[in-house]
Chains A and B, each alone.
Chain A
Amino acid sequence: MSDIPEGTPKPEQLAQIRYKPPRRGWMDKPVELKKGTYCYSARSKFMEYLNLPNAREWNPTEGDWKLPADWKQTILDGMRERLTRFRSFRLFMDICVRCGACADKCHFFIGSGDPKNMPVLRAELLRSVYRNDFTAAGKILGRIAGARELTVDVLKEWYYYFYQCTECRRCSVYCPYGIDTAEITMLGRELLNLVGLNIGWTIEPCANCFRTGNHLGVQPHGFKDSIDFAVDELEEITGVRVEAPINKKGAEILFIAPSADYFASPHYYTLLGYLALFHEIGLDYTWSTYASEGGNFGLFTSHEMIKRLNAKMYAEAKRLGVKWILGGECGHMWRVVHQYMDTMNGPADFLEQPVSPVTGTRFENAKSTKMVHITEFTSDLIKNNKLKLDPSRNDHWRTTFHDSCNPARALGLFEEPRYVIKSVCNNFFEMPPNTIREHTFCCGSGAGLGNDENFEMRMRGGLPRANAVKYVNEKHDVNILLCICAIDKATLPVLMQYWVPGVEVGGIHEMVANALVMKGETKRETDMRGQPLNNAEEKEHV
C-alpha cells in the first residue's frame, strides 16, 4: 500500500463524480486533441511534392508542432493579404452580430454537443485574432472587445476545429447576413497551410492528383484496366458488350467522374450505370486518363491548390478536342466547377455551349462552364422518352435520397436527381423536409475528414443525417440511401452500419442501369450488385 503516492484519490472520492462541466469562457479552455476526433498530419513527402511550406514529419498529439520561427508573423501577414484579396473575408469578419441563427445548425454541434462546433464560435476562433490585430477596438479594448492574441494554443485550436468542419454550408443557409462559414474554414485552413499545418487525408490526394490526375495515384494503364474490367462485368450482367473510349481525340464529349467510381464500392455500380447508359444512347464520348478525377481536394486546402488541380479538366478537354464536358456523380467537384473553374481556369472559349446530342436540349445553365451534371443530362433523356426503362427491376429497393451538400447547396440541384430516381424506381420516400434539399444534413465526413482516425467525430457529425434515414427506415422500410457524391458513397455505408443497420448506400446511375432496358440484352438475372432479381415481371422485355 505504501507504493500508492500521496494525494491519490480514495475509492469513495473517485465515486463522487461531478458530471456537470465547469463554466469557463471559451477562450480560456485550451484545446485537447482527443482520440477519434482529430486528423493526422500530412507526410512530408507529399508536402514536398506540392512545394508546400514547412514540410516535415510531425504529430499533432506531441507538444512541439515544429513550427517555423516566424510562424506568427507568417499567419498575420497571410491574414492581412487575404483580408485585402477577399472582400467577403473582411465582411464575414466584421459583420457577424452573433445572433445565433447558425449556432444549432451544424451537424457537428448537433451530434457532438461541443459548443466550439457552433459555426459562430468556429468563426470566432479566427475573428478574435482578427479583432486583436486588425481592428482599432480590439487593439485598445482587448478581451472586452472579444479580441485575443494569436498563440500556439490558438493555432492548435484552429487546427482542431477547422478540421472539424466539412464545409457543407448548412449554417450559411440560416445566416441573415449570408456569412458563409465554409469560406471562413477555407481561409482558416489556408492560413494553417502557410506554416505547414496540413492533414494527411487532404494532402496525399492532392499530391497524387497533381502527379497522375487522381486521388489514388492510378496511372493510365491502371485506369484502363479498371474500365476494361467494368466493361467485362457489365457484359456478364447484361449480355451487352459496350465500348468505353479512353483518350479518344475528337470525341464530342469528355466525361469526368470521381476516381472512386472506378475502384471503390458501392461507387463501382454507378460506373456500370454510366457505361450502360452511354452505350444505349450511342454517345460519342471519351474518358481521360489524366482528367481521371472529378474530386478536387484543393477545395479543402487552399485557393491556389483548387486552381492547380482543376486545371486538368479544361486542359484535357482542349487536348482531346471535345465540344463540351459531362460530369459524373461527384459532390465537391460541382462546387469547384460551378463557383471557381470558370474564373480560375477559364474562359473555356475553345468549347461549345453544351447541347444534348440525343434530345437537342441546350443546357443554358452550363453556357459559361461548358460542363453538365449527369443527372441533368439523364433527366433530359428521360423527359424526352429516349430511354426504355423498367423500374420494376428496382423493386427490391425502397429508396430515399440524400441531397449531397455541394450539388444541393452549391449547385442548386434538387429536382433532377429526384426526377431520375422516380423514373427508375417504384419505391421512393423523402426524408423529413428540414433534413433535405437546401437543409440537407452532411454525411459528416466531407472536406478531408473521412479518415479512419477521425471515426468518432464522423459518427457524431453524421448523426443528424442518420437519424432522418432511421425515420424513413422505420416508417417506410427504406433499405437504400441514394446519393450523388463519391465521399458520401465512401462514408455513408459505415455511418449506416453504426446508426441504421440494414440500410445500403448507392448511386442514382446504379438504379438507372438496373432499370435500363438495353437493345440486345439477355434476360437480366441480377442487379448491378450481382443480387438475384425476381424475374416474374421481366418476361416481356426478353
Chain B
Amino acid sequence: MTHDIVFTVNGNPERASVPATMTLLDLLRDRLALTGTKEGCGIGECGACTVLLNGKPITACLMLAVEADGQAIETIEGEAVGGELSVLQQSFIDAGATQCGFCTPGMIMSAHGLLLRSPSPSHDEIVEAIAGNLCRCTGYEAIIAAIRLAADRLGGEPHDA
C-alpha cells in the first residue's frame, strides 16, 4: 500500500506516492534527486542526513517519508539562492571547514537550525548543536570557527538562507 503525501522541500510544493517503509532520506535522494543529503550510518548516529523539519534539525534516516505529509523540509540544496552561497556556506569555505565534504551538508543544516534558534550562540551551544554530526577529517575546530564566523557575519540576526 502506498500513501499520497503533500509537503514542501526548500519552499517548493511536492507530491509523492510512497510506501510505508520508505524513509524521508530515500524520498529526498531517490525520488527527488536531492543527493546533497548524505546517508552515513542509517541509524541516526552520524548526522550526515540532517535536514530541517519545520525549522528544526532532524536525521532524515529516522523519519518515514509518509511522516513528511503536511510538513516543511529544508535541505542543503535550499541554502544557496540564485547561485549565491548562503552566509553559512561561504563561512565554511572561508574558515576551511570542509575536507572530504561528506559531513558538510549535515553540518550546515545543524548549524542552520542553531542560528535560527540562537543567532549569537556560545561556543558550548555550537559544540552541542553539532555533537550529532560526525566529521572524520577536520577535527571540528574549523567547523566551530565557521559557524562562529557565520553568526558574526549575520550580526545576531537569525540565519535565513
Q: Do these two chains really belong together in a complex?
A: no
